[in-house]
Structure 1
Amino acid sequence: MDQSLLVFVTVAEKRSFTRTAEELHMTQPAVSQYVQTLEKTTGAKLLDRSNKYVRLTKAGEIVYHHAKEILGLYTRMDALVADLMQVASGPISIGSSFTFGEYVLPHVIADMLAEYPLIEPTIMIGNTADIGGALLAHQLDIGIIEGDYSHDKLRVTPFAEDVMDLIVSANHPFAAAAPDFSVSLADMAPETWIVRERGSGTREAADRWFESFGFVPRNMMSFGSTQLIKESVEAGLGVTLLSRLSVRKELQLGTLRAVNAAGTPVKRKFSLVTHASPYHTKATQVFIACLQNGHWGRLS
């Protein structure tokens, strides 16, 4: 691994030569020397520094972005080579979109660690676009997304089906209707719809549902958190379309209700996203196996 890249990235993230020296267990002059060596190699000043701050120059921003990707590739290479002679262990970086990441992934991780306690998972939660971008930058080993996504450098493999319902407050008139009552487009027209932000698989599913009926909500609020949407619907601010996995507890408690509506339930796929390379660490292989063969489906 290029030590100067590691030192430079750490300085950029810590914004301090002193904290970098402490983090990497080296002297501050050594940190400065590595940064100077990299600046000579690139032929550009990479950091603006004073007694009060350390920040990236424009050239530094470019080098930092690519250095992160290069270091990610080094880490992945080392892990693959080490895996040839070792049992499944070590780090695995998992990215997941919100629904699966917040309501299913903890159970998958628990099942995996029960059998493979030496694996060290880290988790990033973001929308589908975030996960794809992080994989392309080699900041993740594997991703789990909702809805459609494609890129020629990534392999996208559907592995499970998700079911989504129209969700309302327990006090909403729709919830009080007879069990066989089905909400029509005319019924839905005056409602305020609370949806996820663009780039989210949940938002993509809602937009497709609207488009399938040529339906354009008159009032819409966009939130970046499924939990915030649930709380808002429960408070009576509007209605939403959410995965049954994400409202399982609220449905059991009776604070939210799933109601019949035209075109529901809406079905979509959870997909596994990996690098196009056929090589994966043993930790990643184990995680994929747990994901595909586990018993998390009992949550749905």
Structure 2
Amino acid sequence: MDQQLQVFIAVAERKNFSRAAEELHMTQPAVSQYIRSFEESIGVRLLERTNKYVRLNQAGEIVYHHAKEITGLYSKMQNLVDDLANKASGPLTIGASYTFGEYVLPHILSKLAADYPSIEPEVTIGNTAEIAELVISHQLDVGLIEGHFKEAVPLQNESFAEDLMYVVAPPSHPLVGQDKRISIDELANELWLLREEGSGTREAAEKFFAQSGFRPSRIMQFSSTQPIKESVEAGLGISLLSQWAIQKELQHRELQTLPVKGTPFKRHFSIVTNSPFQTKALQVFIELLKNSDELTDLTQKNTASKL
């Protein structure tokens, strides 16, 4: 791969010539020379330099974005070529939306490590929109996401798992333990604790509300699921959460589900990739996802918890 690109990316991310030189095992003068040569070849300055900082200017931001995409494609190409003569091994960059990444993926990775110890997974957790964007820019080999997204380029998209979502409340909630189904209108005065825009969990909640002909009058947003669970347990409000995210809290009776009409609400998780070619490492990972006993086991545990 072009050494100038590597040096430029290191300086842009470290915002410091000395730290970039240390990371690349080079001298600082050598790093400075690479940057000068790179800027001359591009025909414009890419970095603003002072005694206190080094940062990208507008042209530098453009070059950095494309440099990351180029290096991602180069790595993918090299891994595909290496695969022709080798077993499933090497790096595998995986992105996952919060629900799947925090509560399901660790079980899949444990199985992957046991069966394919030569594969080196690197995991990024983000909301659905963030993970899709990283797959589009070739910074991730695969994304595991919920919901839909507006992609700039078409991605290979395959549904592989069904999730069930429930309205959860603290054990002290007056509607806990109801024998009859509850109309969502009975929750009109509740504070709903929801994920941020761009999250697949938020998209599912919006679909559930639309199908129920309901709109919460009060909403509080969170950037991840864990503080939502803590806040529901504390009595702040209620939420719509994945069966996978709440299994431990249900087992310990820290949260309870409400028998609301229209629940459990079903949604699907999808595998997204951005290339017709797959490394052996990616192939075995996707196969593991599709035939995972871990997904079945987690669902059975939730059923045992009397969701």
Which bracket does the TM-score occupy, shorter chain normalised?
A: over 0.9
Q: Distance in 2 between matches of 1:6 and 1:68?
A: 9
Structure 1 stretch 26-35 or stretch 134-143: which is displaced more? 26-35
The alpha carbon displacement at 1:86 in A equals 1.1
The alpha carbon displacement at 1:159 in A equals 0.5
The alpha carbon displacement at 1:50 in A equals 2.5
| Matched residue SS, 2:107 | helix
Asked if 2 retains the 8 angstrom alpha-carbon contact of 1:93 and 1:141, the reply is yes
Q: Distance in 2 between matches of 1:214 and 1:153?
A: 32
Q: Distance in 2 between matches of 1:291 and 1:234?
A: 32
How does 1:92-241 map onto structure 2 within 5 Å? 92-149=92-149, 151=151, 152-175=153-176, 177-178=177-178, 180-241=179-240
The residue type equivalent to 1:248 in the other structure is Q
Q: Distance in 2 between matches of 1:41 and 1:95?
A: 34
Say whether 1:50 aligns with 2:47: no
| Matched residue SS, 2:259 | strand
Say whether 1:257 aligns with 2:256: yes
Asked if 2 retains the 8 angstrom alpha-carbon contact of 1:245 and 1:299, the reply is yes
Asked if 2 retains the 8 angstrom alpha-carbon contact of 1:149 and 1:156, the reply is no
Asked if 1 retains the 8 angstrom alpha-carbon contact of 2:87 and 2:280, the reply is yes
Asked if 1 retains the 8 angstrom alpha-carbon contact of 2:185 and 2:214, the reply is no
Q: Which ranges of structure 2 fall in alignment gaps of 5 or more residues?
A: 300-307
Q: Please list every run of at least 4 consecutive aligned residues from structure 1 whose deviation after the TM superposition is greater than 6 angstroms.
A: none
Q: Which ranges of structure 1 fall in alignment gaps of 5 or more residues?
A: none
| Matched residue SS, 1:182 | coil
The answer for the alignment partner of 1:82 in structure 2 is 82
The alpha carbon displacement at 1:216 in A equals 1.1
The answer for the alignment partner of 1:288 in structure 2 is 286
- Aligned-pair identity in percent equals 55
The alpha carbon displacement at 1:20 in A equals 1.3
The alpha carbon displacement at 1:137 in A equals 1.3
The answer for the alignment partner of 1:33 in structure 2 is 33
| Matched residue SS, 1:172 | coil
Asked if 2 retains the 8 angstrom alpha-carbon contact of 1:89 and 1:118, the reply is yes
Asked if 2 retains the 8 angstrom alpha-carbon contact of 1:167 and 1:241, the reply is yes
The alpha carbon displacement at 1:150 in A equals 5.5
Q: Distance in 2 between matches of 1:18 and 1:220?
A: 47
| Matched residue SS, 2:236 | coil
The residue type equivalent to 1:103 in the other structure is Y
Asked if 1 retains the 8 angstrom alpha-carbon contact of 2:147 and 2:268, the reply is yes
Q: Distance in 1 between matches of 2:218 and 2:13?
A: 41
Asked if 2 retains the 8 angstrom alpha-carbon contact of 1:150 and 1:156, the reply is no
Asked if 2 retains the 8 angstrom alpha-carbon contact of 1:156 and 1:273, the reply is yes
Asked if 1 retains the 8 angstrom alpha-carbon contact of 2:80 and 2:279, the reply is yes
Per-residue CA shift, 1:113-169, capped at 9, x if unaligned? 101111111111111100111111111000000122364431110011000011111
Number of paired residues?
297
The alpha carbon displacement at 1:19 in A equals 1.4
The answer for the alignment partner of 2:269 in structure 1 is 270
